[in-house]
């Protein structure tokens, strides 16, 4: 397993850093937790998983590399992924995990390795699809779909061999070779990487306690999760994304539903003073205050000591800070989270609430 690799152990032990939670940011910690496994502790492109990547990660210490990239190109590569600048789609998109000021800070930190900006190793130009699958940016609105998430491209026949290769290249650093969430970088991350073998996925379009759709996994991998180290792989070819999804599903010990039900997302009512007042009332009567607090800042009486089913510490979302909405801050994503809950956490689904009440709560939160 990757978590037992002596190379990984030496490299990551030398970091002696813990990732800063979503409500704070320091570029060195972010780099250590998110980038060093590929690019190395000193930016030399020699991280513990670099040997398995083709092309190899950039060597930030190479002076000849820095002279060919400006800050805007570096920022685009980090925000939108390697494919956005004509490089490897294995360089994921981190736009969902960084705001503009944090992105600027990270670019500046990369410059300290040699005094330039980031690049990626040269490789053949990507297929046209790879540059057009979307940015995975945090600012990209959710697709307005009532029945469930929409994905790019059709679904190919499963190729678990290809999926395993891609998983080991792009995912195992965090999730581990076995998919158990124990990759070499996992201990530096907050929240911790998901144990994919449990088959418990938080961001679904299905009811609480039911398996996620393959489309749900596709969307998470494609777009990433805001406020976490989970980047988006929007630059990866759509067929390859599907192969990763199928491989992730094959790791799960949980049964797969033959015909899972999708929680519908009806058209929202307008946000009026009456609707907002109703939303405030629902916030109290539905029990949201217990976790999220009177002010909605994640400081409720039940927040202290909150953990997920794996025993990892959790903090309720700060509803006054949309960057803590991991699925996205748009209304449809928020409605889905309220309706389906987040499996494996104390956040239950409220599908039993009337749809208009759920929409009133959404409007109130977004206006709060």
Q: Give tens-digit pLDDT for 128-183.
A: 333 223 333 333 333 333 334 445 457 899 999 999 999 998 899 889 999 999 98
Contact 107, 75 (CB under 8 A): yes
Is residue 236 located within the same domain as residue 334?
Answer: no
- pLDDT surpasses 90 at 22: no
pLDDT band per the 50, 70, 90 thresholds, residue 49? low
Q: Over the stretch 311-352, which tens digit does the pLDDT of each residue have? A: 888 889 999 988 778 888 899 999 999 999 999 999 999 999
Rounded-to-integer distance, Cα 230 and Cα 99, Å = 14
| pLDDT of 270 | 93
CATH (domain of 309):
1.10.760.10
Rounded-to-integer distance, Cα 72 and Cα 10, Å = 33
**Scanning the structure block, which residue is given the tokens 């972010």?**
30
Tokens of 233: 């792989």
Is residue 106 located within the same domain as residue 175?
Answer: no
Which distant-in-sequence residues (6+ apart) come within 8 Å of 18 by Cβ?
Answer: 29, 33, 188, 190
**Boundary (domain end) residue, out of 184, 216, 251:** 251
What is the number of other CB atoms lying within 10 angstroms of the CB of residue 30? Answer: 22
- pLDDT surpasses 80 at 196: yes
Rounded mean pLDDT, 187-204? 88
**Boundary (domain end) residue, out of 58, 91, 114:** 114
| pLDDT of 153 | 54
Tokens of 208: 């609480």
Tokens of 150: 């929409």
- pLDDT surpasses 90 at 266: yes
Contact 188, 35 (CB under 8 A): no
Q: Over the stretch 62-111, which tens digit does the pLDDT of each residue have? A: 887 778 888 888 889 888 888 888 888 778 888 877 888 888 889 888 88
| pLDDT of 257 | 60
């Amino acid at each position: 397993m990757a978590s037992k690799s002596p190379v990984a152990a030496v490299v990551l032990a030398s970091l002696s850093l813990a990732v800063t939670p979503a409500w704070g940011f320091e570029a060195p910690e972010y780099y250590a937790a998110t980038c060093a496994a590929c690019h190395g502790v000193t930016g030399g492109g020699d991280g513990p998983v670099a040997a398995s990547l083709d092309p190899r990660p950039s060597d930030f210490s190479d002076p000849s590399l820095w002279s060919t990239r400006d800050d805007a190109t570096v920022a685009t590569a980090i925000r939108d992924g390697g494919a956005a600048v004509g490089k490897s789609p294995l360089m994921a998109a981190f736009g969902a995990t960084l705001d503009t000021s944090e992105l600027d800070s990270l670019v500046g930190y990369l410059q300290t390795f040699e005094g330039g900006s980031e690049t990626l190793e040269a490789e053949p130009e990507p297929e046209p699809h790879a540059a057009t699958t979307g940015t995975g940016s945090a600012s990209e609105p959710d697709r307005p779909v009532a029945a469930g998430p929409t994905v790019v491209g059709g679904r190919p026949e499963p190729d678990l061999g290809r999926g395993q290769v891609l998983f080991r290249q792009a995912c195992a650093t965090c999730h581990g070779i076995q998919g158990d969430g124990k990759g070499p970088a996992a201990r530096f991350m907050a929240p911790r990487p998901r144990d994919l073998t449990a088959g418990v996925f938080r961001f679904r379009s299905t009811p609480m306690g039911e398996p996620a759709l393959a489309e749900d996994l596709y969307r998470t991998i494609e777009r990433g999760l805001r406020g976490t180290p989970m980047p988006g792989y929007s630059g990866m070819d759509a067929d390859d994304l599907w192969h990763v999804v199928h491989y992730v599903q094959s790791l799960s010990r949980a049964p797969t539903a033959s015909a899972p039900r999708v929680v519908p997302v009806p058209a929202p009512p307008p946000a009026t003073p009456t609707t907002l007042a109703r939303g405030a009332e629902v916030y109290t009567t539905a029990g949201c205050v217990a976790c999220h607090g009177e002010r909605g800042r994640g400081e409720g009486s039940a927040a202290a000591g909150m953990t997920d089913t794996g025993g990892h510490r959790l903090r309720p979302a700060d509803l006054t800070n949309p960057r803590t909405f991991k699925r996205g801050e748009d209304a449809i994503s928020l409605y889905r989270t309220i309706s389906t809950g987040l499996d494996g956490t104390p956040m239950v689904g409220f599908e039993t609430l009337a749809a208009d009440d759920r929409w009133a709560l959404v409007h109130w939160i977004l206006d709060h």
